[in-house]
């Protein structure tokens, strides 16, 4: 199903690109219906325009004014300036979709004006290959139709869970940041593979296919993670030796602490920003 709306991305960085890439490759939005604008980096806009054949706009007010859906895709620290700049051209006929970590819908609504519909989302960079694990929640002026539109858009870039806003920080710690934890682990495995005598190319291929296999297996089994790693582990074997080392260094507790800190940081991001005077 193609969505016939004009969509403007305010922010043209990694997350905007991942979503744009997903929407276009799945033909959910026509490239000419998408506009990207950023703060200053014209080279980046040129790259996005050439790669995805979308429109770009140096003037953020014009990019905002002409859109049906405005996707806020700047860093939390830039949110205040970004909204200050555009809020005068935003009307309640438009839909604001935020991908910004930590910022509550109430803060966006308060700064924009009371009856502007806002949907808060948390995708991840796997959007680029249509495999984001996204969650969305609605602000107080967003309708079922708004939620449905965003669900349809984000379904094109992966799976969508509709959650309560109070759960969004947890979603951010698990799924928004999630890909980075796996890439971090993959980096370590690649270093280990080279140290053990494989070439970079061999290690890369082996580690990549191993994680793809894990992902596909998880999609096709009802077994728990414990059952799955126990399946790999022979008594006295190689896996046991590896897992023993991870356990000795409190790997699982470390991961839990890492996710917990990401969740806490998401909450902090929402609390540390000034509210704009209307
Ligand atoms: N990266 C990720 O994995 C995920 C990120 N997010 C969220 O997405 C948002 C963007 O992150 P990410 O793409 O990684 O960040 P990037 O740094 O890659 O991109 C940020 C973009 O915002 C633009 N920008 C800065 N200030 C303004 C402004 N005032 N008006 C319009 N555009 C502005 C920048 O433009 P310029 O370069 O010209 O300064 C740049 O294009 C963040 O809020 C993050 O929390 C959510 C889920 C996952
Ligand atoms: O690191 C960040 O703050 C963003 C939010 C989720 C993923 N990246």
Q: Which residue has the tokens 């429109």?
A: 55
Q: What is the ipTM of this complex?
A: 0.98
Task: State yes or no: 10 annotated in a binding site.
Answer: yes
Q: Fold match between 7-163 and 172-268?
A: no
Q: CB 131: neighbour CB atoms within 10 A? A: 15
Q: What is the pLDDT of residue 273?
A: 57
> Do residues 6 and 67 touch, judged by C-beta distance below 8 A?
yes
Asked whether residue 145 is marked as a ligand-binding residue, the answer is no
Which among 16, 41, 64, 73 is the best mutation to test ligand 1's pocket, defined by most ligand atoms within 8 Å of the CB?
A: 73
Task: Supply 275's token pair.
Answer: 């509210």
Tokens, residue 249: 């260094």
Q: Which residues of the chain have pLDDT under 50?
A: 276-278
Q: Where are the domains of the chain?
A: 7-163, 172-268
pTM check: above 0.90? yes
pLDDT in tens, 169-186: 999 999 999 999 999 999
Q: Which is the CATH superfamily of the domain at 172-268? A: ProC C-terminal domain-like (1.10.3730.10)
Residues 245, 229: Cα–Cα separation, whole Å: 15
What local confidence, expressed as pLDDT, does residue 118 receive? 97
Atom 42 of ligand 1, residue of closest alpha carbon: 75
User: pLDDT tens digits for 85-115?
Assistant: 999 999 999 999 999 999 999 999 998 876 9
- Distance from the alpha carbon of residue 177 to the mean position of ligand 2, in angstroms: 5
Q: What string of DSSP letters covers 227-275? A: HHHHHH--TTSHHHHHHHHHHHTTHHHHHHHHHHHHHHHHHHHHHSSPP
For residue 111, the model assigns a pLDDT of 87
Q: What is the CATH number of domain 7-163?
A: 3.40.50.720
**What is the per-residue pLDDT for 277?**
43
């Amino acid at each position: 199903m193609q969505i016939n709306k004009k969509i403007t991305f305010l922010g043209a960085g990694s997350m905007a690109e991942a979503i744009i890439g997903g929407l276009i490759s799945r033909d959910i939005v026509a490239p000419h219906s998408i506009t990207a604008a950023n703060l200053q980096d014209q080279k980046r806009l040129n790259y996005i325009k050439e790669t995805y054949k979308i429109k770009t706009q140096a003037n953020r007010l014009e990019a905002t004014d002409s859109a049906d859906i405005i996707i806020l895709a700047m860093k939390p620290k830039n949110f205040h300036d970004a909204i200050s700049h555009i809020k005068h051209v935003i009307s309640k006929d438009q839909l604001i979709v935020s991908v910004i970590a930590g910022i509550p819908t109430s803060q966006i609504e308060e700064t924009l004006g009371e009856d502007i519909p806002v949907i808060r989302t948390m995708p991840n960079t796997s959007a680029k290959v249509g495999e984001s694990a996204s969650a969305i929640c609605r602000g107080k002026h967003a309708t079922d139709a708004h939620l449905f539109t965003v669900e349809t858009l984000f379904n094109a870039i992966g799976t969508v869970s509709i959650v309560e806003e109070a759960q969004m920080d947890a979603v951010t710690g698990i799924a928004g940041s999630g890909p980075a934890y796996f890439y971090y682990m993959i980096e370590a495995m690649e270093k280990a593979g080279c140290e053990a005598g494989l070439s970079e190319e061999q290690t890369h291929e082996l580690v990549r296919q191993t994680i793809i296999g894990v992902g596909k297996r998880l999609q096709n089994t009802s077994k728990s993670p414990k059952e799955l790693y126990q399946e790999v582990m022979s008594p006295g074997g190689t896996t046991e030796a590896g897992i023993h080392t991870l356990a000795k260094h409190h790997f699982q507790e470390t991961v839990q602490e890492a996710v917990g800190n990401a969740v806490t940081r998401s909450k902090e991001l929402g609390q540390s920003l000034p509210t704009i005077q209307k």
